[in-house]
Amino acid sequence: MFNIGNKENYEIDEKGVRNVRGLVVDMIDNANSGHPGICLGAATILYTLFKRHMNIYLDDTKFLNRDRFVLSAGHGAPLYYVILYLMKLLTMDDLKNLRKINSKTPGHPEYLKTPLVEMSTGPLGQGIASSVGMAISENYLHKITNGLIDHYTYVLCGDGELEEGVTYEALSLAGTLKLQKFIVICDYNKVTLDNELNVSSKEDLKKRFESINYLVLEANDTVQSIDNALIEAKNSNLPCIIFVNTIIGYGSFLEGKNIVHGKPLAADDILNIHEKLGLYKTPFTVNQDVLEDFYQTVLKRGEKYYKTWLKRYQKVKDKNIIDKLLKGENTVSLTDINIEYNNKSLRELSGDILNFLASKFPFLIGGSCDLSSSCKTNLNDYLIFSSENRDGRNIYFGIREHAMSGVLNGMALSGLRPFGSTFLTFSDYMKPGIRMSAMMNLPVIYIFTHDSITVGEDGPTHHPIEQLASLSLIPNLKVYRPYDLNELIGSYMDIMNNTSPSALILPRDNKEISELTKINGVFDGMYVVLDSLKDDYINLITNGEELGLVLEVAKNLRELDIGVRVISIPCLKNVKPKEKAKLLEKRTIGITLGVPDYLYSFTNEVIGITEFSLSGSKEELLDYFGFTVKELESKILELLNK
């Protein structure tokens, strides 16, 4: 509807593309760092997409129904910054500050640092996975808002990037779900950093994407060809991938060669490119007619799009959901929660809470990597999200952990409150995506069950040893490890208040419950569960399923007339340094069913596990690793030299 596509326009567009190429060369030269290969090669793609298709409202770049664009090939950042400059969202000075500290133009796109940068990208594949999440969100929100949300999601990737497993996972999921309005554009230059693409990949890409249910299109590196492909893609009901035959480092002496990928160009090459493209010789100049044409075109199309949408919005009677979205509401209170213990395991109770939350607000949506029945994360009153049921709220991610994390990020970026679950040991598979949740401070909820060696018979591959400590190292990620229902409710209350990601760690079987635990203890991060009866005492610190064991040990030590205080630390990141110092004035011994490093920031005396586990029953394994009341008691006595 908003496309302009007559021949005259293509002329100024081709001139525009030449200008873009000139600017990226100047930027990289000026910064003396960057990736000329993709910036020169993919210029026509980004120019055409934004000039002729993207529906964005320049007065409010956060406009809810804007088309989304993700630069998954994040090293193409300078190119995107030039496009933002043409839309007057960045200034020429911003372009000159490329890669400088605290500029709006960092080396790779960074979420919240630059207008219209939908997410941070750089690690290959993450943008693809998150764009799938954005498309899932659009398809879901389209349904539950009666069509009010109906934007496209575009993502640009490199051909080498398609080698990444996470792209395969995410794109296969998108194909399975028949996501609509989802368009992948591949900068198909057939060259990777190290060599030609066919040295590392000899795939029939058309066939590969047809096999996962995509409309596969091809385009040449002209505005007209790309424009036509985009029109066809937008008219399709299938997810679509467009392979644009580009030339890496277009115009450079090194064009078509891998060595043009990531280093600034030589001075004579820069002159050469400027001359070849018929550009001004002065760096950082641009044809004013190009700038105005681009800006006005995007501006006007966007205004029309925005106003039309406002009219549609005004006509809608039940504005409940859309207004929540507009306000960015993505949480709900747990105050009126009523969960029955009923001798259930912690993961079952977690499922009950999750179901309660889902009934309270429509943006809680998520799923599992084929373990919803084990992780107890099925939303029982809702269908499976599929091409037939776009309002389904159970996403069957398949055994695609890495993609799940990236998809959840995209969903959070679209205003949903997504959760994803698998076994704790498989959190390793999704670490790169979790890192992106944390880097962008997205309120994604990770639910990891089957904690520790108490998983039992499945053996060492299924027993997390270093995962709890490893997740705890990630900045911004709050890791919760509750012991019982009280601490679980506290965890969920805190999680729902978080604006950053959370990881909830739950054991497989534990059904213990204590009258000593506190909901509020989670908010403080650490708290005294059992106080000492004597003035002279030691602290035993722990969390999660070990707490029951440690309370038993404490009881025994008391009988030996040893003063003991037991402290639970359900959330390390919530601990305030002053509180920590106050609580740990006395000698402190940590107990954890994993690498001791997890508690080293509290004490250097930690009883943990420093080797991989083995297959056996939970009881056999606890005994083997010395996590019985008797063994722990004697280890503590040994430490105390008693």
| Residues in 95-134 that interact with its own copies by CB under 8 A | 99-103, 106-108, 110, 120-124
Question: Of the candidates 14, 150, 163, 391, which one interacts with its own copies according to CB under 8 A?
Answer: 163
- Minimal distance, residue 310 CB to its own copies, in Å: 36
383 binds its own copies, rule: CB under 8 A: no
Decide: 605 and 636 in contact? Cβ < 8 Å. Answer: no
Q: Which residue has the tokens 């053996």?
A: 459
Q: Which is nearer to its own copies, 172 or 225 (CB)?
A: 172
Question: Of the candidates 386, 500, 514, 634, which one interacts with its own copies according to CB under 8 A?
Answer: 386
476 binds its own copies, rule: CB under 8 A: yes
Q: Which is nearer to its own copies, 470 or 542 (CB)?
A: 470
- Minimal distance, residue 352 CB to its own copies, in Å: 19
Which stretches does DSSP call E strand in 231-347? 240-245
Can you read off the two tokens belonging to residue 586?
A: 């006395």
Q: Which is nearer to its own copies, 202 or 317 (CB)?
A: 202
347 binds its own copies, rule: CB under 8 A: no
615 binds its own copies, rule: CB under 8 A: yes
Q: Which is nearer to its own copies, 308 or 615 (CB)?
A: 615
Q: Which is nearer to its own copies, 120 or 539 (CB)?
A: 120
Q: Which residue has the tokens 């009126």?
A: 336
620 binds its own copies, rule: CB under 8 A: yes
Query: For residues 80 and 604, what is the distance between their CA atoms, to the nearest angstrom?
Result: 49
370 binds its own copies, rule: CB under 8 A: yes
DSSP 425: G
Query: For residues 108 and 87, what is the distance between their CA atoms, to the nearest angstrom?
Result: 19
Q: Which is nearer to its own copies, 359 or 615 (CB)?
A: 615
Q: How far is CA 420 from CA 401, 423, 467, 566, in A?
A: 9, 11, 17, 32
Q: Which is nearer to its own copies, 2 or 600 (CB)?
A: 600
499 binds its own copies, rule: CB under 8 A: no
Q: Which is nearer to its own copies, 331 or 378 (CB)?
A: 378
Q: Which is nearer to its own copies, 121 or 486 (CB)?
A: 121
- Minimal distance, residue 231 CB to its own copies, in Å: 27
Decide: 76 and 38 in contact? Cβ < 8 Å. Answer: yes
DSSP 160: G
What b/e string do you get for 310-328 counting C-beta neighbours within 10 Å, with b at 16 or more? eeebeeeeeeebbebbeee
Question: Of the candidates 30, 192, 246, 414, which one interacts with its own copies according to CB under 8 A?
Answer: 192
Per-residue binding letters, 24-43, with its own copies (x by CB under 8 A): -------x-xx---------
DSSP 3-state of 635 = helix
Q: Which stretch binds its own copies (CB under 8 A): 55-63, 133-141, 201-209, 549-557?
A: 201-209
Cβ contacts of residue 555 below 8 Å, gap of 6+? none
- Minimal distance, residue 380 CB to its own copies, in Å: 14
Question: Of the candidates 193, 383, 560, 639, which one interacts with its own copies according to CB under 8 A?
Answer: 193
Q: Which residues pair with 565 in a beta bridge?
A: 539
Q: What is the 3-state secondary structure (H, E, C) of 106-131?
A: CCCCCCCCCCCCCCCCCCCCHHHHHH
404 binds its own copies, rule: CB under 8 A: no
Q: Which residue has the tokens 């960045």?
A: 90
Is 348 an annotated catalytic residue?
Answer: no
- Minimal distance, residue 323 CB to its own copies, in Å: 33
Sign of torsion over alpha carbons 447, 453, 455, 457: positive
409 binds its own copies, rule: CB under 8 A: no
DSSP letter string, 561-574:
T--EEEEE-S-GGG
207 binds its own copies, rule: CB under 8 A: yes
- Minimal distance, residue 364 CB to its own copies, in Å: 19
Q: Which is nearer to its own copies, 44 or 192 (CB)?
A: 192
Can you read off the two tokens belonging to residue 118?
A: 């939908």
579 binds its own copies, rule: CB under 8 A: no
Question: Of the candidates 218, 329, 509, 597, which one interacts with its own copies according to CB under 8 A?
Answer: 597
Query: For residues 89 and 173, what is the distance between their CA atoms, to the nearest angstrom?
Result: 34
Residues 438-457 that bind its own copies (CB under 8 A): 438-439, 456-457
Q: Which is nearer to its own copies, 9 or 105 (CB)?
A: 105
253 binds its own copies, rule: CB under 8 A: no
Query: For residues 264 and 618, what is the distance between their CA atoms, to the nearest angstrom?
Result: 58
Question: Of the candidates 160, 249, 507, 521, which one interacts with its own copies according to CB under 8 A?
Answer: 160
- Minimal distance, residue 206 CB to its own copies, in Å: 8
5 binds its own copies, rule: CB under 8 A: no
389 binds its own copies, rule: CB under 8 A: no
Residues 172-191 that bind its own copies (CB under 8 A): 172-173, 175-176
Per-residue binding letters, 418-437, with its own copies (x by CB under 8 A): -------xx-xx-xx--xx-
Q: Count the residues of the shown chain that bind its own copies, applying the rule CB under 8 A.
A: 108
Query: For residues 194 and 200, what is the distance between their CA atoms, to the nearest angstrom?
Result: 9
470 binds its own copies, rule: CB under 8 A: yes
Q: Which is nearer to its own copies, 141 or 403 (CB)?
A: 403
Decide: 359 and 381 in contact? Cβ < 8 Å. Answer: yes
213 binds its own copies, rule: CB under 8 A: yes
Can you read off the two tokens belonging to residue 323?
A: 């207004």
168 binds its own copies, rule: CB under 8 A: yes
Query: For residues 505 and 491, what is the distance between their CA atoms, to the nearest angstrom?
Result: 10
- Choose among 334, 330, 369: nearest CA to 352: 334
Of residues 110, 138, 401, 633, which has the active-site annotation?
A: 401
Cβ contacts of residue 1 below 8 Å, gap of 6+? none
CA 40 to chain CA mean position, Å = 29
Please report, as a single letter, which amino acid is at residue 32.
Answer: N
DSSP 3-state of 536 = coil
Question: Of the candidates 93, 533, 601, 640, which one interacts with its own copies according to CB under 8 A?
Answer: 601
Question: Of the candidates 4, 92, 199, 231, which one interacts with its own copies according to CB under 8 A?
Answer: 199
- Choose among 583, 499, 581, 509: nearest CA to 540: 583
Cβ contacts of residue 109 below 8 Å, gap of 6+? 71, 74, 77, 80, 117, 119, 120, 121, 122
Q: What share of the chain is helix, strand, coil (3-state, %, to 5)?
A: 45, 10, 45
- Choose among 221, 247, 252, 216: nearest CA to 232: 216
- Minimal distance, residue 209 CB to its own copies, in Å: 8
Residues 53-92 that bind its own copies (CB under 8 A): 74
604 binds its own copies, rule: CB under 8 A: yes
Residues carrying an active site annotation:
401
